[in-house]
Structure 1
Amino acid sequence: MTLREWGLLALLSLLWGGSFFFVGVAVREIPPLTLVALRVGLAAALLWACALLIGVSPPRSMRAVAALAILGFGNSALPFALIAWGQTHLPSGLASILNAATPLFTVLAAHVLTEEEKLSRLKLLGTLAGMAGVAWLIGPDLLLGGGTMRGWAELAVLAAALCYALSAIYARRMRSLGLKPIDVAAGQATSATLFLAPLALVIDKPWTLPMPSGPAVASVVAIAAFSTALAFIVYFRILAGAGATNVLLVTLLVPVTSVLLGASLLDERLLTRQFLGFALIAIGLAFMDGRLPRALIGGRHNPNPASGDSSRLPIGQKSR
């Protein structure tokens, strides 16, 4: 990865880590369904404005529209709503740590649903370590809490991570439909709005709610403009330049950003076992990614990386 791509990765971790912080602020005054409907609705408007500025027209084929509707439900509407509801009972930092299980579910789902991405030995080891971290995080709340709302909230955030994983596999067909990245981002935000807006109107009756405070309104605007619209653009830029393996590194960085924001601005505190759970998830992701074991094995067998063996160079670094 180039220095610019590392900078974009850091920016994306700030944008997505900030989303948990902004939800944590807004959900104290705005019901979850109304919050996520506003999030995707504003993001869709911004993304289509950007698309029109660069000369991209909306997709017209029914196959593309149907695919975007499915993606909008699975990758935006449902997981956003689950996370927002979960954060009514959880600190934003803990929600982001649970969300870090997304690549674990992606690997398992790809093993079951695809022919070309089966579990390797390293991926299996990493998945087992990551799942142990998830169990360490939520086990005490489920076993000792007896089905408390906190336990259900943790399961809701994990269900959102599973939605993201399944949607990532489904999203592969977008390229075959001739859709550009901004088409996909704007289309899924639009379809998510169509799913969520009627539910928010019927269930929350937002016109009956008291006017939210300035910080809550600012959080809604920030999560739509920065953590959704801009984040999608940055994500697809990294994906195009550095590939899917490198962009997954953001999963390790997002909880760090979210925990720091929650601790410094929302006075949130996490338990020691929750940090240990994240450590297990991080180790699992590192093994799934392959960099850590390759670096350890490469360093043991080839202490001088300049010796000309390009097979042991880090990912993203080419031999000359």
Structure 2
Amino acid sequence: MSESFLPMGRLEWTLLVLLSVLWGGSFFFVGVAVRELPPFTIVALRVGLAALTLLLVVHLMGLRMPSTPRIWLAFFGMGFINNMVPFSLIVWGQTHIASGLASILNATTPLLTLVVAHLFTVDEKMTRSRLVGLMVGFTGVISIIGPDVLSGIGQDVAAQCAILGAALAYAFGGVFGRRFRRLNVQPMVAATGQVTASTVLIVPVALILDRPWNLTPPGTGTWAAVIALAVLSTALAYILYFRILATAGATNLLLVTFLIPVSAILLGVAFLNEMLEPKHFAGMALIGLGLALVDGRPARLLMRTKAQST
């Protein structure tokens, strides 16, 4: 079935930037949590606490969760593709490789989404402008984090493949999640259904593989990181995720992975007294140019202005 997605407006771009801040923080929170907790336990706590948070919000808002088996089957499909698989791969991958390299590998998500959307949708086809924009944006990500981080390529290949696998899962998740618009499922309900289904899927795995009752109780810092990961980087983030997906489509939505390094740098400047370096300005300029090329409006405005002048 064909769907119509308009170019992103001011609201969608604002939500995308906010989502990049929330997801940018997840790499830090995971980095703290993996020091004391095993991967599947972190994922189970992340989605479980997020599900409890969203179910409470849905109740307070007077919304009702659907009872249709078809919709819940979609929730479980989305939870598996978009939560269980990528969360587990990223957490495991971050136990073996640096977060900077993980961020760069994660930033392949829009490129993979462009390919997946081209193959499996009728309204998000690959265009030359989009492809060039994504390549420019990806170059900007490498510039911001620093090309030297790529020196780790070739080491811990399995962990690097895990991060790339997570990026591919996110690409399929973005395309799969479009169906909630056709099913008339509100973004809040879609976010709640996805993380609830994810919890049902991942908790048995964590219990069997990690045996969390045998673990040393984690410290206050770890619990704070897990709670922030669940409430901010998952519950709130997925409300924004499904809101953007419903109006802007999968390819535009997953541009967020280009903005995550920008958010991390700016947060460091604002709260950690870090300094902006020339590579940061160059990287942000390239990302801005890439996003403009993907969005397409600057090119259309230029063509319209040229047409009016002739």
TM-score (norm 2): 0.79
Cα 1:277–1:256 change in 2 (3 A) is closer
Backbone CA RMSD of aligned residues: 3.8
Query: For the Cα contact (< 8 Å) 1:111–1:119, is it kept in 2?
Result: yes
Cα 1:163–1:138 change in 2 (3 A) is farther
Unaligned runs of 5+ in 2: 1-7, 273-277
* C-alpha displacement of 1:123: 2.2
- 1:24 equivalent among 24, 31, 43: 31
- What is the one-letter code of the residue matched to 2:114? V
Q: 2:238 corresponds to which residue? A: 232
Query: For the Cα contact (< 8 Å) 2:23–2:233, is it kept in 1?
Result: yes
- 2:117 equivalent among 100, 103, 110: 110
Q: Is 1:58 the equivalent of 2:55?
A: no
C-alpha separation in 2, matches of 1:162 and 1:12: 19
- 1:219 equivalent among 195, 209, 225: 225
* C-alpha displacement of 1:258: 3.2
Cα 1:83–1:260 change in 2 (3 A) is farther
Cα 1:28–1:277 change in 2 (3 A) is farther
* C-alpha displacement of 1:140: 5.1
Unaligned runs of 5+ in 1: 267-271, 310-320
* C-alpha displacement of 1:63: 0.8
* C-alpha displacement of 1:108: 0.7
Query: For the Cα contact (< 8 Å) 1:92–1:258, is it kept in 2?
Result: no
* C-alpha displacement of 1:277: 8.9
Q: Is 1:101 the equivalent of 2:108?
A: yes
Query: For the Cα contact (< 8 Å) 1:137–1:273, is it kept in 2?
Result: no
Q: Is 1:252 the equivalent of 2:258?
A: yes
Q: 1:269 corresponds to which residue? A: none
Residues 199-251 of structure 1 deviation map (CA, whole Å, 9 limit, x = unaligned)? 111111111111111111100000101111112223445566x7447755533
C-alpha separation in 2, matches of 1:170 and 1:290: 24
Show the 5 A alignment for 1:159-178: 159-178=165-184
* C-alpha displacement of 1:19: 0.9
Q: Is 1:202 the equivalent of 2:208?
A: yes
C-alpha separation in 2, matches of 1:112 and 1:7: 29
Cα 1:233–1:116 change in 2 (3 A) is closer
* C-alpha displacement of 1:8: 4.3
C-alpha separation in 2, matches of 1:172 and 1:158: 22
Query: For the Cα contact (< 8 Å) 1:21–1:258, is it kept in 2?
Result: no
C-alpha separation in 1, matches of 2:129 and 2:206: 44
C-alpha separation in 1, matches of 2:230 and 2:133: 33
Q: Is 1:79 the equivalent of 2:86?
A: yes
Q: Is 1:13 the equivalent of 2:20?
A: yes
C-alpha separation in 2, matches of 1:114 and 1:238: 17
Cα 1:261–1:24 change in 2 (3 A) is farther
Give aligned pairs, total. 295
* C-alpha displacement of 1:300: 8.6
Q: 2:49 corresponds to which residue? A: 42
- What is the one-letter code of the residue matched to 1:39? R
- 2:187 equivalent among 163, 173, 181: 181
Q: Return 93-102 or 164-173, whichever deviates more.
A: 93-102
Q: Identity over the aligned pairs, expressed in percent?
A: 49
Q: Return 180-189 or 67-76, whichever deviates more.
A: 180-189
- What is the one-letter code of the residue matched to 1:65? W
* C-alpha displacement of 1:285: 4.6
Cα 1:108–1:282 change in 2 (3 A) is farther
C-alpha separation in 1, matches of 2:239 and 2:305: 39
Residues 128-183 of structure 1 deviation map (CA, whole Å, 9 limit, x = unaligned)? 556778998997544xx3xx32x322221121111111111111111222322122
C-alpha separation in 1, matches of 2:184 and 2:101: 38
Cα 1:65–1:104 change in 2 (3 A) is same
